[in-house]
Amino acid sequence: MSQAPVSEHVAQGYQHPQNTQFSVFLANRCGKLLELVDIFDGHALKLVALSVVDSADHAVVRLVTSRAELARRLLSRKGLPFSEAEILVVELGPRQTLSKLCATLLSVELNIHYAYPLMVRPHGAATIALHTDDQVLAGQILRRKLFTLLGENDLGDNATLGGSPGPTPN
């Protein structure tokens, strides 16, 4: 009996929550960002993070959704040029600061290539998207230091938009 191949992450006993960042390339013209975000309206996903890197003639929009596969299909259907990257989504709990997160990654000599906040706060805490030199090692060390890593399933309908958590049960 043959077995399906096992990814390197699973073979090592660790697989961090999956999140896909799309980098969409747009002409730097009025209304292009609106056209991009309108693509997702009315579909069964949430746009949970957005970062714009702007230059004179083009912009790169990094975005994260609650359903990467659907987002991929929507972007392809519109013929927009984009690339994908795996990112970590880290929740900063009550005793966890951005400074502690950076120090934790520095302790294993990992560089942060880029970081940006999310628009959702699933548990009422600040949440940040990260891309590092080594996503697996970053995920392992952050979990070891009790940071919460979120996957795209955590960012959908169960997420709380904005700054306040949902109602607290009695």
For 159, other C-beta atoms within 10 Å of its C-beta total 20
Distance of CA 25 to the CA centre of its chain: 18
Burial of 146 (0-12, 13-18, 19+ CB in 10 A): exposed
Terminal C-alpha separation, the chain: 53
Secondary structure of residue 13 in the 3-state scheme: coil
Q: Which residues on adjacent β-strands are paired with residue 146?
A: none
- The residue whose two tokens read 């560089």 is 111
- Span 148-156, average pLDDT: 89
pTM of the model: 0.81
Range in 12-21, 100-109, 128-137 with the lowest mean pLDDT: 12-21
Q: Please compute Rg for the chain using Cα positions.
A: 17
Segment 20-51, tens digit of pLDDT: 999 999 998 899 999 999 999 999 999 999 99
List, in order of start, the domains of the chain with CATH numbers. 20-86 (3.30.2130.10), 87-154 (3.30.70.260)
